[in-house]
Structure 1
Amino acid sequence: MSKWSRKLHSRISLPIYFSLAVFFIFLITVSITGTLFFIAHFFGLINNEIGQDGVYLPIVLLISCAIIGTTISAMTSRKMVKTIRTFIEGTARLAKGDFSIRLELEGPPEFKVLSENFNKMAEELGGIEILRKDFINNFSHEFKTPIVSIKGFAEVLKHDDLSKEERDEYLDIVIEESARLASLASNVLVLSKIEAQNILTDKDRFNIGEQLRQCVLLLAAKIDKKQLSLDVHVQDREISGNKELLNQVWLNLLDNAVKFTPEGGSILIEMKKKEDRLAILFQDSGPGIEPDAIPRIFDKFYQQDASHSTAGNGLGLSIAHQIVELHGGTITCDSSLNQGTTFTVTLPLSM
């Protein structure tokens, strides 16, 4: 097939394709039937009585056209049936969990669109399956670790020969791991609730500058404990949104900045107005984030510390990302190793 004919073939829509197919089948059927009758008459296979009879000739023609037309239709429809069977086989493999299947259907433009949509669907389902497995693996790890720790120290606490200091130390660990479990369960519920929302509810007008200052006061003890230098440059501005959800965003970003900034380091909170949007920056002087890790920091349960020794369960940034998107905003991360990290949340001033 030449390049011109392939190009023309790809531009013929499905209705025209079927119409042309029916026309050519009819044309070929009539031509073949007429030719056969001409040959039969030429060699005397059809006598004049049959030709002059008004009943037998139409019946013979009808039967001949039906047989020849059916044969030609069966031959020409094999390609169409093959395409449909290919699609059926592809959907069957997809239904069984084979998300690597891809289709390259040839024919009318509708078939090419069908192939593209099928391949896109298979790719999306494959990505969802990977995320599902990753979520289950990470959740199992995060859930199992504190339970094993609580069980182990509870068994040790049954011993009567423990000193008061040892008993208090083990009880503190049990309390800490229990709080970690409670936090994990709470964060999973919050994330599930947020992901299920398509429309932001419980919106109010509130002072975001005052909210940021209150978040600083809530974490003042942690900041003082690490002797961190804190610069806050925020103004009183009103925005429309869910105050409780946005409060979780600020607390998470500030808590992360405190957690990863070394003692004596510095943290900057700054607010900037950009046309009809408001940008809030959280900058720290911590160790920074690996370049390869930055695209994954908003994934569920992702932690740059593969040993999971750092406090947290990898859900905070994922929750923050979902909340900001629900408000029609964006959250970005800019980080360099040994030069600190900056998270920027941009929100619309009016919603």
Structure 2
Amino acid sequence: MKREPGFLHILARLMLVLLVLYLSWTAAYFITAAIYSRMSWAFHDLFVFLINATLGFFFFGIISMTVRRFIQPREQHAFTEMIDALKRISQGDFHINLDWDLGGRNGKHRRTHPYVQLVDSINDMAANLKAMEKLREEFISNVSHEIGSPLTSIIGFAKALKDEKLDREQRDRYLTIIETECIRLSKLSDNLMKLAILDSERHPFRPSLYRLDKQLISLILACEPQWEAKKIEMTVEVDIVEVNADEDLMGQVWVNLLHNAIKFTPQGGSISVSLSSNGDQAVICIADTGQGINEQDQQRIFERFYKADQSRSRTAGGSGLGLSIAYKITEMHTGSISVSSKVGEGTVFTVMLPLHQKVMKGSSNCEMYNGTVI
């Protein structure tokens, strides 16, 4: 029968203690025997046994104290390092990497040692806090930049409006820019508030059974002026699917993804939206024929304020929060969202949601819309 490593470790330590104890008793026996042989009279057997046992325990204590002198300073040093590391972490220094050598222990036993587990926990905590601090700094920097840019424009054009020599056309153009930047700030504020509420889990989460196919078609039709203005061919293929989710929150996901697709699809391009079921999950795909996203950016596309194309995002007026909100809401529904893209070939966002309800197969009611299935 295979024994657990912990049991073998305890057994080995017990055997070591017994070995040292037996050696101490043996040493005591030979020493007292040598002393008794030089004496003219013999002691009683009980007295001899007691003397041998006492002397043996005395030797055992001396050996234990000697070994302890070599082991305890190392442990004390390790605890001192750990306490110092915790103090540094409490003061905001997360550049911690403790390492405590356990001598000849093999890898498996070393990992199960409590001191090693404690050191690894401190290292992991420091690494996680360091990563969080980096994200916090990036977040503050991004917020400052996103707020600073429109404010600079507003201040500049507001000062320009004080010039009485401006004609009506220039004045209207400056006012339009100020209005656009104010709308941009308002959207940024709204998105930041949404993320803060979602992160704090204070947002009311009210899942209910509803027709996901109807929701998607309704939102696509609501976006008709945007995709019609760019002469985008919109194709929709949906099954009748009922999901148990928060309809308002999921609506935000579809709006963000649809607006992104319309925003980055060129004039005369195409967008396709599909909805189907795969086992106990609903699968929603939103594909566009935009310029695509390179592989390196795809790994960070759901980070807050991250923009795959900085110049393109600024031109389109985005803040880099829409996909973060979509990711957070999908995560709240225990679903997943992923991106697949090739530069020059377009982008596909895939959302998978648990159904929690039987899916009714078939096609939803469709209408012909300028030759496009809606």
In the other structure, the counterpart of 1:74 is 69
Pairing partner for 1:244 from 233, 248, 251? 248
Change (3 A) 1:81 1:20: farther
Deviations 1:4-27 (A, max 9, x none): xxxxxx867786687677667766
The equivalences for 1:173-212 within 5 A come to 173-197=177-201, 201-212=205-216
The equivalences for 1:1-351 within 5 A come to 70-95=65-90, 96-106=92-102, 109-111=112-114, 112-197=116-201, 201-307=205-311, 308-310=313-315, 311-350=317-356
Change (3 A) 1:30 1:127: farther
| Alpha-carbon offset, residue 312 of structure 1 | 0.7
On the 8 A contact 2:285/2:351 being kept in 1, the answer is yes
Equivalent pairs, count? 340
| Alpha-carbon offset, residue 89 of structure 1 | 4.0
Identity across matched positions, percent: 31
Deviates further, 279-288 or 199-208: 199-208
On the 8 A contact 2:150/2:184 being kept in 1, the answer is yes
CA distance in 2, matches of 1:29, 1:178: 87
Across the aligned residues of Structure 1 and Structure 2, the Cα RMSD in angstroms comes to 3.6
Change (3 A) 1:28 1:80: farther
Deviates further, 120-129 or 268-277: 120-129
Matched letter for residue 152 of structure 2 = V
Matched letter for residue 261 of structure 2 = A
| Alpha-carbon offset, residue 273 of structure 1 | 1.4
CA distance in 2, matches of 1:92, 1:14: 33
CA distance in 2, matches of 1:23, 1:12: 17
On the 8 A contact 1:203/1:242 being kept in 2, the answer is yes
Q: Gapped runs of 5+ residues in structure 2?
A: 358-374
Change (3 A) 1:208 1:87: same
Matched letter for residue 315 of structure 1 = L
In the other structure, the counterpart of 1:3 is none
Q: Report SS of the residue matched to 1:194.
A: helix
Q: Gapped runs of 5+ residues in structure 1?
A: 1-9
Q: Report SS of the residue matched to 2:284.
A: strand
Change (3 A) 1:65 1:120: closer
On the 8 A contact 2:85/2:96 being kept in 1, the answer is no
On the 8 A contact 1:33/1:65 being kept in 2, the answer is no
On the 8 A contact 1:208/1:237 being kept in 2, the answer is yes
Deviations 1:153-194 (A, max 9, x none): 111112222212211111111111111111111111111222
Deviations 1:229-285 (A, max 9, x none): 111112332211111110010000000010000111111111121111111111111
Change (3 A) 1:104 1:64: closer
| Alpha-carbon offset, residue 215 of structure 1 | 1.0
| Alpha-carbon offset, residue 42 of structure 1 | 8.4
On the 8 A contact 1:200/1:327 being kept in 2, the answer is no
Q: Report SS of the residue matched to 1:170.
A: helix
TM-score calculated relative to the size of structure 1: 0.82
On the 8 A contact 2:237/2:274 being kept in 1, the answer is yes
Change (3 A) 1:332 1:153: same
| Alpha-carbon offset, residue 317 of structure 1 | 0.3
| Alpha-carbon offset, residue 217 of structure 1 | 2.1
Change (3 A) 1:339 1:238: same
CA distance in 2, matches of 1:169, 1:17: 85
| Alpha-carbon offset, residue 288 of structure 1 | 0.6
In the other structure, the counterpart of 2:371 is none
Change (3 A) 1:68 1:342: closer
Deviates further, 193-202 or 330-339: 193-202
Change (3 A) 1:88 1:26: farther
| Alpha-carbon offset, residue 219 of structure 1 | 1.3
In the other structure, the counterpart of 1:5 is none
TM-score calculated relative to the size of structure 2: 0.77
CA distance in 1, matches of 2:174, 2:18: 86
Deviations 1:92-119 (A, max 9, x none): 4444423351435426622433344333
Deviations 1:110-154 (A, max 9, x none): 243334433333332222222122111111111111111111111
CA distance in 2, matches of 1:299, 1:272: 27
